[in-house]
Amino acid sequence: MRCETVREALSARIDGEPEPIRAAVVDRHVVGCAGCRDWYRRAEELRRATILHPAPAVPDLTARIMAAVPEERREPVGLRAALGVVAVAQTSLALAQLFGADTGMGHAAHGAFMMGHMSHESAAWNLAIGIGLVWAALRTRTAAGQLPMLSVFVGVLTGVSLLDITRGDVTAARLISHVPVLLGVALLYLVYRRHRDDDRPIGDRMDTGRERFADEVPDIDVAHEDSIVRFRHRRPASRHRAA
């Protein structure tokens, strides 16, 4: 077998392309031909020199990167505790109203307090608010779900309370009973703001340092990556057209 044919097959093997003749036949020829063995060795060395390059020197920025990572902030125990106290006060007030205690939660109308179903409905709603605030104090991430509804409730309640004050249709005890709800919504908002910041991915909460470190990281020449692609699609070096 001619050495040119064997070297064409070896070139195809190096390039990862199908060999024009059986590999076993090529291997037998290479074992017995010192010239083809030397050619194959030099071709492999050339291939490695073409696609492999020394890694560029990269500075160790570990310490600076770790220093840029924001410290984990502590759980806002004070806010949660305050919200828990307000929640207990709201729940206690609702339970007292539900079981008929005189809490000033009835409506003053013509010198008499409205009782019955409306009082029970108001008590149930106040109890639901209290339980919701308790749950938000225990599971702070649930504050976001309660905030829109309770904010609207407090806004409407403030408006109608001012109207009732001008008409003389509300007692001082009734107005004071709204204080836990007002405080609860304010604390709920603060807890929501605190955990909204904590729930962001850490990459959004830290300085990536891209601008500060850019001058320390050398540009990597990726031209050899293109040469890899081109090298894979080259025709075997020994293949040529007949004149």
The answer to pTM > 0.75 is no
Lowest mean pLDDT among 17-21, 26-30, 222-226: 222-226
The domain ranges of the chain are 1-69+223-243, 77-201
CA distances from 122 to 101, 126, 127, 128 (A): 14, 6, 9, 10
CB 79 within 8 A of CB 136: no
Q: How far apart are CA 238 and CA 2, in angstroms?
A: 12
> In angstroms, how far is CA 135 from the centroid of its own chain?
24
For 40-98, write each residue's pLDDT tens digit.
999 988 888 888 777 778 888 888 888 877 666 665 678 888 999 999 999 998 888 88
Cα of first residue to Cα of last residue in the chain, in angstroms, is: 22
Q: Average of pLDDT values for 224-229?
A: 42
Provide the pLDDT confidence category of residue 186 given band limits of 50, 70 and 90.
Answer: very high
The fraction of the chain above a pLDDT of 70, given in percent, is: 71
pLDDT at residue 167 in the model:
87
Provide the pLDDT confidence category of residue 15 given band limits of 50, 70 and 90.
Answer: confident
pLDDT at residue 230 in the model:
42
For 145-184, write each residue's pLDDT tens digit.
899 999 999 999 889 889 988 888 878 888 888 898 999 9
pLDDT at residue 123 in the model:
84
For 114-130, write each residue's pLDDT tens digit.
456 777 788 888 899 99
What dihedral do alpha carbons 157, 89, 103, 94 form, nearest 10°? 70
pLDDT at residue 231 in the model:
39
pLDDT at residue 48 in the model:
84
